[in-house]
Amino acid sequence: MARRSLPILKQILSKSSDQCSPFLTPTRSVTYMPRPGDGAPRAVTLLPGDGIGPLVTGAVEQVMEAMHAPVYFEKYEVHGDMKRVPEEVIKSIKKNKVCLKGGLATPMGGGVSSLNMQLRRELDLYASLVNCFNLRGLPTRHENVDIVVIRENTEGEYSGLEHEVVPGVVESLKVITKFCSERIAKYAFEYAYLNNRKKVTAVHKANIMKLADGLFLESCREVATKYPGIKYNEIIVDNCCMQLVSKPEQFDVMVTPNLYGNLVANTAAGIAGGTGVMPGGNVGADHAIFEQGASAGNVGNEKLVEQKKANPVALLLSSAMMLRHLQFPSFADRLETAVKQVISEGKCRTKDLGGSSTTQEIVDAVIAALE
């Protein structure tokens, strides 16, 4: 009797499935339950920046408008040759808590302070995050690369504490504190925990800078004990670079002091497909600035600007990170899916990805791919 009833049971289940039985899992799941009013449009400070900045930020504006994304921009002109970030810009970011920016040119030498560093210090954006991953349809030397580089953003060699001791002798101070080392380590482990990442690797040079990088490692080890479910290991920065170019798939989340993180993030980005497609941002307890992940200060060259062939993909993906940060996950998913679809199809690609498309052609393709 039991064996004879099995085909009948299968038929019943098949019919129930066709009729969307209430006992089966629905096709659309609830992603999160917003609070009343969370759908109101949010103000975002926009800094187009220098060089290709206006091109790629303009691309984001067009895509956001096409998506009817619940954000609107307060735009300010800021350029790398300014002595300071205008006070009205700082006030706008503090009010809105979120900023999207293009590259700001940093003058070489001459004692002129980087505006990027000024923003990070003024807003205490202590964590820089760059996600370097393979994109389907974009051939690279290595597969299965998905690395998140989290770097301390406020001290280290980037403290800017330099002076000329005597003519021809310059002293540059590297500052490492336990407070900043602990909080970047906590951020890295918290990120790994919340994003289902399995391993955190601390990058250092404690074999030479025993006190400074030793303090950084000591802080990472202390924090690691509070996250027993996440594997922790350490690697010297020069060996790290060699391992990145030979076997990058071994890395998951990497936590680094300031200078090393800059080098590691750009290396990982080059391995995974180039700096033109890697998203990133800078975040603190209260504020966040989203920008191109690796080579964030890259403003391109004049020829690229004239031809209007800058790659907007990195900033579009950074904008998806921004939408998720603002708790608009469905808009972020739509944008990411559309960008990845365009890359996968391979019909529209800028010069850095082996094509000849203009920025506007990429924008049009992404808008067409939006669901």
pLDDT tens-digit readout, 330-357: 999 999 999 999 999 999 999 988 899 9
Task: Name the H helices within the chain.
Answer: 2-18, 53-67, 87-96, 115-122, 178-194, 212-224, 237-246, 258-272, 302-307, 313-325, 329-345, 359-369
Mean pLDDT, the chain, integer: 88
At 294 the pLDDT is 83
Exposed, middle or buried: residue 234 (CB in 10 Å: 0-12, 13-18, 19+)?
middle
For residue 316, CA distances in Å to 63, 139, 160, 300 come to 8, 20, 31, 17
pLDDT above 80 for 7? no
Exposed, middle or buried: residue 262 (CB in 10 Å: 0-12, 13-18, 19+)?
buried
Q: What's the rounded Cα separation, in Å, for the pair 65 and 75?
A: 15
Both tokens of 163, joined, read 């002076």
Evaluate whether 253 touches 185 at the Cβ level (below 8 Å). no
Same fold across 40-129+276-370 and 141-272: yes
pLDDT tens-digit readout, 97-136: 999 999 888 776 555 568 888 899 899 999 999 999 999 9
Q: Under 8 Å CB-to-CB from 145, ≥6 apart: which residues?
A: 132, 133, 134, 248, 249, 268, 271, 272
Average pLDDT over residues 226-250: 96
pLDDT tens-digit readout, 268-298: 999 999 889 999 999 999 999 999 988 766 7
Evaluate whether 179 touches 155 at the Cβ level (below 8 Å). no
Q: What's the rounded Cα separation, in Å, for the pair 268 and 265?
A: 5
What residue segments make up the domains of the chain, in order of their start? 40-129+276-370, 141-272
Q: What's the rounded Cα separation, in Å, for the pair 360 and 58?
A: 9
CATH classification (class only), 40-129+276-370: alpha beta
Other residues' Cβ atoms within 10 Å of the Cβ of residue 164: 9
Q: Which of 371, 145, 362 is nearest to 267 (CA)?
A: 145
Lowest mean pLDDT among 99-113, 114-128, 151-165, 238-252: 99-113
Both tokens of 114, joined, read 């980087």
Both tokens of 129, joined, read 């995050």
pLDDT above 60 for 366? yes
Evaluate whether 67 touches 331 at the Cβ level (below 8 Å). yes
pLDDT above 80 for 167? yes
At 255 the pLDDT is 98
Q: Under 8 Å CB-to-CB from 165, ≥6 apart: which residues?
A: 171
Q: In what order do the strands lie in the sheet with 253-256?
A: 71-75, 42-47, 98-101, 288-292, 279-283, 127-133, 146-152, 253-256, 199-204, 231-236
Average pLDDT over residues 85-91: 95
Lowest mean pLDDT among 156-170, 209-223, 335-349: 156-170
At 3 the pLDDT is 44
pTM assigned to the model: 0.87
CATH classification (class only), 141-272: alpha beta
CA 299 to chain centre: 17
Return the top range by mean pLDDT from 67-76, 101-110, 295-304. Answer: 67-76
Both tokens of 62, joined, read 């067009």
pLDDT above 80 for 190? yes
Average pLDDT over residues 172-194: 95
pLDDT above 90 for 314? yes
Both tokens of 109, joined, read 């030498």
